[in-house]
Amino acid sequence: MNRIILSFILIAILSSCNKSAQLTTTNFEKFLLSGSGDYHNAEHTWSLDSLVINGTTVNLNPIQKLYAVTYYSNGTFADSDGYTGKWDFTNIDELTIFNKNVLTGTYTPIIWKIIDINSFKFSYAVTTSNNTKYEYYFKIVYN
């Protein structure tokens, strides 16, 4: 009898627990890239730390070292060169960037292969049509 009562209490407790939405891996990556959208966490700015082209590290010039991009939790971005657009994680290891054409207002998608993302660094790779591989490494900017 005690087992039945104990089982009933256990089932009641488990079924009454809060059923909040699970944080998926892609949502977690979105939060890392741009913030959660909560108060004071609606954007993250990343500055270019290094660049590797076809396996060779490139020495950044002073202008390149100033490059930064801000990702907003609403799925948009703006960079220090004046480009804007939209972004989304289409897969766990792919970030799709939609660059906005200022003349037509249309968006052109580019898929980036995520190398690594965490709370202080973000890196991705792009291979061009002529098989040149660019690897961009960013560090987060804390204000």
Q: Is residue 12 part of a domain?
A: no
Reported as a single tens digit per residue, the pLDDT across 11-56 is 544 444 444 445 677 788 888 899 888 777 889 999 999 999 999 9
Reported as a single tens digit per residue, the pLDDT across 73-106 is 999 999 999 999 999 988 889 999 999 888 898 9
Q: What is the domain count for the chain?
A: 1
Report yes or no on whether pTM surpasses 0.85: no
Q: Is residue 40 part of a domain?
A: yes
Among 107, 106, 94, smallest CA distance to 33 is for 94
What does DSSP assign to residue 116?
A: E
* Residue carrying the six token digits 């960037």: 97
Give the confidence band of 6 by pLDDT, cuts at 50, 70, 90: very low
C-beta separation of 126 from 110 below 8 A: yes
Q: What is the CATH number of the domain that holds 39?
A: 2.40.128.540
Full residue range of the structural domain in which residue 28 is found = 24-141
Q: Is residue 16 part of a domain?
A: no
Q: Is residue 39 part of a domain?
A: yes
What does DSSP assign to residue 1?
A: -
Q: Is residue 129 part of a domain?
A: yes
CA distances from residue 8 to 2, 17, 79, 88, 101 in whole angstroms, order as listed:
10, 15, 57, 44, 61
